[in-house]
Amino acid sequence: MRRRQWRWLRRLGSRDPGHFCLTSAARVAIVAPVVLVGAIGLVGNVRMCLFAWFGVIALLEFVDFEGTGRERLRAYLMLTASGALLIVLGTLCSQALVLAAVASAVVSFVVMFAGVLNPYVAVAGRSALLAFVLSVMTPGPLTAIPERLAGWGLGAAGSIVAVLVLWPRRPPDRLRANIAAASRALADGVTWPPAASREPAASREPAASREHAGADTDADETARVWTELLRLRREFAATAHRPTGLGGRAAALGYVFIDLNWLLPFALPWPERDRTARTCFPAEAAEVHDAVAATLRAVATRIEPSRYHRHGLRHRSRDGPRPGDARQTDDRLGMARLERSERAMRVALLRYLRSQDVPASPARAPCADHPGEPGASAAAGVRGHSPPALAAAEAFRLRRLARGTRDLALNVLKATAPSRRPGRVPGSLPATELARLRSWARERGSVATDLAVGYASTRSVWFRNSVRKALGIALAVVIAQVIGVDHAFWVVLGTLSVLRTNAMATTSAALRALAGTVIGIAAGGLVVIVAGDTTAGLWALLPPAVFLGSYARRLGAFALGQAGFTVTVILLFNIVEPEGWRIGIVRIEDVIIGFAVSVAAGALLWPRGAVAVLRTRAQAAYLSAVHSLVLAASNLPHEQRQPGRTPDEAARVARSAVRAGRLLDDAVRHFLVEDPPERFDIDALMMIVAGAQRIRRTAQLLRQGDVPWPADLPEIDRSTAFGAAFPAARAALSQDIEGLCFWYRRFADALGTAGRPPAPDLTPGRGGPAGLALLRSTDAGGTDTGPGAARSGSTGPGTGPRPETIAGIALAARAAYIDILRGIEPMMTAAALALERPAGDDVDGLWSSGGPGPTGGQAPDPQQSRPAPVRSSAFIRAS
């Protein structure tokens, strides 16, 4: 019996691990009454008391900034300053109805749309609007500005002190925790057993027994990597405000997520890969694996240092010391070691290719010392490639793995670096500091402009939501002023509290809020009647009412939160300006008007929300990414350039592809906030997003010279072996690129038109074998031992490879990139099939004209993320 009585308490605790919601609600319940007592004791002015009270609500209830203590303090101070400016502006605009309406629309749009520039700005948007709405809806002369600012400042000061003193411990950053977990999984997946990795080839056990012993381990590691990466994708998409910004740490954290997705095909365990590497270049491959694993573990430790301090000792005792691990305190995170291992792998590949004087037959084991090993011929014939082709492909994979891990480490360093000012302010700045400051301002201005231009379109869900919010608030201001209701700011607060991203969600929120308001009015009115003319009872009940409303809202009980907030409002106004239970009647009239305005605004402007544009955004993202890939990969040497394929055009198309990718991410993020049905396949949707992202990243790397063509490649002489092989290899690569882009254009059209996705093209590409033949057609001169040898194209003896060799490597690398994109075609088809709506099965409204309404209890709070459930069964079946 006792166990049943406490079961509800255990369920409540399971919804608040760490009790962070409990402590945050308690902080508001303590600070708000204390600030109100201070405001009444100091001045006793009603307006000042209201601004002090809502200052606490804005800073403690509506926002909860993440980051270090210094970052949060800076964010709260900036919000305080912004709120003060908006209070002055709102007071100036409160004298005329037209001015108030126009200013409300403009300010609301600017505040909401500015959230694309930085997640802190996005989180603070509602609090900033609260300060403006409170001032514009309470008309007052210019002489009222000082007391309003004093009240706002008093509330902000009490809130900031409470944030830093009362329960300052923050909940763990789930996005960073998932990034760290995915990094550790990748590190474990690429780690080679130390003894086996450096053992001579002749002394190793046969491949069959080695594969049999490691098959289960590889499968487990692969499953773990996929599980962690899917969890990370879900967490990244479900985060209400994407890590972005003007090139700072927030933007770098978003690139960390992209880098981890990019590494996946290069890092997954694969028996054929390991067998090829262990026999062809064992020492160099082992060094790449060790360097990558060390850097990935250092990345996990740096991105989530709290876990390192909690579990570092246990981790070391369980796994043993790793002598090559990069330390968390190493500012380079092992990046120099990665660069050395990549160069060594390139030298090893050239050395191996020179050693293969006679082309190997498909039946020969890849680089094998034991041709009769079971399974050798099957491995050699993978995708129709010869054994040297497998060696070249494995060397390409290892080099891309090292370089991609280095890019990941660089972005982690940016994401975790201490904040630095662009220049020193005190005194006269030196010329260098002034130049640095101007350069910093130009760079941030350019990025901000690019972001704003990319989102300033009716195709952007963020833009639509900003316009919808501006229209709703402006209508609420006009209607409240024209009708002349008492406490008119409640009308706008009601609109602000229930307006969602689509009509159905807005209506649902309005009904729940109305029910909670009615319950709160009944409870609050009863309390006021019982208290009578004494305020002691009201003061005693004020903290519990504040706590109830705050805690319920944080746990997702929206109606109960509205009830608690309504009781709080009734108690508050009867303390500062007693009006009895009638204040509840005024409250219900005002909020009904505000809710009606929200429903009207949601129905007038893009009522379906993000689901209406999700298909078209996915189609545009794929088409623009494919176009960028064509311009980046088709620029082959000694080939007549087609009209429109200039570097400037390639850069312009690349920017368009980036913007299309942002709009797709924007639509997906808002779609998940809109509560997709529980049976909706989020994993398949994220796989489609990742596919467009990989095409775009491949095009970016090729355009930026990841595998550059030699600048001094001589004219083609068909009388030489290289001259005879190069045109055929170039034609094979062009054919691979055209076939790949044709397939992805069909896939994009299927996404945009709700058609059936094309079947994957399983035909082996011709570019890889042609690139290998090109490499073997020329005698590689010297070996590259310097860091710039790969790009120098030098031809002197012992200083680097010949230009023909560099051209062969560049062509083979491009073919490998194309093969990777062709290899994910089955996963893209499976993802599109998993998102299709089966006949008679009302699964989702994504690809159809309508769909079921949002389900309760799924959407995260504005500053939280939804948990990552298990991988969906529909995508598993389709895969």
Closest alpha carbon to 367 in 375, 376, 489, 560: 376
For the stretch 18-27, pLDDT in tens is: 678 888 889 9
Residue 676, judged by CB atoms within 10 A of its CB (0-12, 13-18, 19+), counts as: buried
Considering the domain architecture, whether residues 299 and 334 belong to the same structural domain is answered as yes
**Cβ contact 217:196 at 8 Å:** no
**Cβ contact 55:22 at 8 Å:** no
In this structure, of 88-97, 440-449, 602-611, 843-852, the range with the lowest mean pLDDT score is 843-852
Question: For residues 542 and 221, which has the higher predicted lDDT (pLDDT)?
Answer: 542
> What's the confidence (pLDDT) of residue 844?
38
State yes or no: pLDDT of 358 exceeds 50: no
Residues with Cβ within 8 Å of 622's Cβ and at least 6 positions away in sequence, in order, are 691, 692, 695, 744, 745, 747, 748, 751
Residues with Cβ within 8 Å of 596's Cβ and at least 6 positions away in sequence, in order, are 510
Asked if residue 136 belongs to a domain, the reply is yes
Q: Which of 97-101, 535-539, 557-561, 848-852 has the highest mean pLDDT?
A: 97-101
The answer to whether the pTM exceeds 0.85 is no
> What's the confidence (pLDDT) of residue 806?
74
- Six-digit token pair at 614? 């999700």
Considering the domain architecture, whether residues 735 and 628 belong to the same structural domain is answered as yes
**Cβ contact 831:749 at 8 Å:** no
Looking up residue 264, the CATH number of its domain turns out to be 1.20.58
Within 13 Å and on the Cβ side, how many CA atoms surround 137?
Answer: 32
For the stretch 321-355, pLDDT in tens is: 444 455 544 547 888 898 899 888 888 887 887 77
Question: For residues 105 and 259, which has the higher predicted lDDT (pLDDT)?
Answer: 105
In angstroms, rounded to a whole number, what is the distance separating the alpha carbons of residues 610 and 501? 8
Considering the domain architecture, whether residues 337 and 280 belong to the same structural domain is answered as yes
Among 607, 636, 655, give the residue marking a domain's end. Answer: 607
To the nearest 10°, report the CA torsion of 530, 533, 535, 538. Answer: 20
| Burial letters 545-565, b for 16+ CB under 10 A, else e | bbbbbbbbbbbbbbbbbbbbb
Averaged over 774-787, what is the pLDDT? 50
In angstroms, rounded to a whole number, what is the distance separating the alpha carbons of residues 35 and 39? 6
Among 400, 416, 432, give the residue marking a domain's end. Answer: 416
CA 11 and chain centroid, separation? 31
> What's the confidence (pLDDT) of residue 746?
94
In angstroms, rounded to a whole number, what is the distance separating the alpha carbons of residues 152 and 438? 34
State yes or no: pLDDT of 860 exceeds 60: no
In angstroms, rounded to a whole number, what is the distance separating the alpha carbons of residues 141 and 442? 40
State yes or no: pLDDT of 773 exceeds 80: no
Averaged over 209-224, what is the pLDDT? 60
**Cβ contact 246:448 at 8 Å:** yes
Rounded to 5 degrees, what are φ and ψ at 802? -75, 160
Averaged over 843-861, what is the pLDDT? 35
Asked if residue 806 belongs to a domain, the reply is yes
CA 670 and chain centroid, separation? 13
In angstroms, rounded to a whole number, what is the distance separating the alpha carbons of residues 578 and 570? 9
**Cβ contact 630:530 at 8 Å:** no
**Cβ contact 431:449 at 8 Å:** no
Averaged over 463-470, what is the pLDDT? 88
Cβ atoms within 10 Å, residue 343? 20
State yes or no: pLDDT of 797 exceeds 60: no
In angstroms, rounded to a whole number, what is the distance separating the alpha carbons of residues 690 and 683? 10
> What's the confidence (pLDDT) of residue 426?
42
State yes or no: pLDDT of 743 exceeds 90: yes
Considering the domain architecture, whether residues 312 and 227 belong to the same structural domain is answered as yes
pLDDT band at 861 (very low <50, low <70, confident <90, very high): very low
Q: Vertex 541, ends 553 and 129: CA angle to 5°?
A: 40
pLDDT band at 442 (very low <50, low <70, confident <90, very high): low
Residue 678 is classified by DSSP as T
**What average pLDDT is seen over the chain?**
74
Residues with Cβ within 8 Å of 290's Cβ and at least 6 positions away in sequence, in order, are 191, 192, 197, 324
> What's the confidence (pLDDT) of residue 838?
43
Considering the domain architecture, whether residues 874 and 819 belong to the same structural domain is answered as yes
% of the chain beyond a pLDDT of 70: 69
Q: Which of 188-197, 373-382, 860-869 has the highest mean pLDDT?
A: 188-197
> What's the confidence (pLDDT) of residue 620?
92
Considering the domain architecture, whether residues 579 and 720 belong to the same structural domain is answered as no
Considering the domain architecture, whether residues 581 and 686 belong to the same structural domain is answered as no
Question: For residues 408 and 772, which has the higher predicted lDDT (pLDDT)?
Answer: 408
Asked if residue 1 belongs to a domain, the reply is no
> What's the confidence (pLDDT) of residue 326?
53
For the stretch 583-592, pLDDT in tens is: 777 777 777 8
For the stretch 138-160, pLDDT in tens is: 888 888 899 999 999 999 999 99
Asked if residue 748 belongs to a domain, the reply is yes
Averaged over 369-374, what is the pLDDT? 34
Domain that holds residue 104: 19-171
pLDDT band at 56 (very low <50, low <70, confident <90, very high): very high
In this structure, of 98-107, 344-353, 464-473, the range with the lowest mean pLDDT score is 344-353
> What's the confidence (pLDDT) of residue 685?
82
Considering the domain architecture, whether residues 736 and 854 belong to the same structural domain is answered as yes
Considering the domain architecture, whether residues 74 and 191 belong to the same structural domain is answered as no
In angstroms, rounded to a whole number, what is the distance separating the alpha carbons of residues 251 and 415? 8
Domain count, the chain: 4
Considering the domain architecture, whether residues 743 and 599 belong to the same structural domain is answered as no
Considering the domain architecture, whether residues 405 and 509 belong to the same structural domain is answered as no
State yes or no: pLDDT of 114 exceeds 70: yes
Cβ atoms within 10 Å, residue 118? 21
Among 579, 607, 635, give the residue marking a domain's end. Answer: 607
Cα Rg, the chain, nearest whole Å: 31
Asked if residue 9 belongs to a domain, the reply is no
Averaged over 69-98, what is the pLDDT? 90
In angstroms, rounded to a whole number, what is the distance separating the alpha carbons of residues 340 and 426? 43
Packing angle of the helix pair 20-42, 536-554 (nearest 10 deg)? 150
In angstroms, rounded to a whole number, what is the distance separating the alpha carbons of residues 241 and 421? 24
Considering the domain architecture, whether residues 593 and 619 belong to the same structural domain is answered as no
% of the chain beyond a pLDDT of 90: 13
pLDDT band at 315 (very low <50, low <70, confident <90, very high): very low
> What's the confidence (pLDDT) of residue 82?
94
Asked if residue 458 belongs to a domain, the reply is no
Question: For residues 463 and 779, which has the higher predicted lDDT (pLDDT)?
Answer: 463
pLDDT band at 278 (very low <50, low <70, confident <90, very high): confident
State yes or no: pLDDT of 576 exceeds 90: no
Asked if residue 530 belongs to a domain, the reply is yes
Q: How far is CA 659 from CA 452, 453, 653, in A?
A: 10, 9, 10
> What's the confidence (pLDDT) of residue 204?
43
> What's the confidence (pLDDT) of residue 623?
94
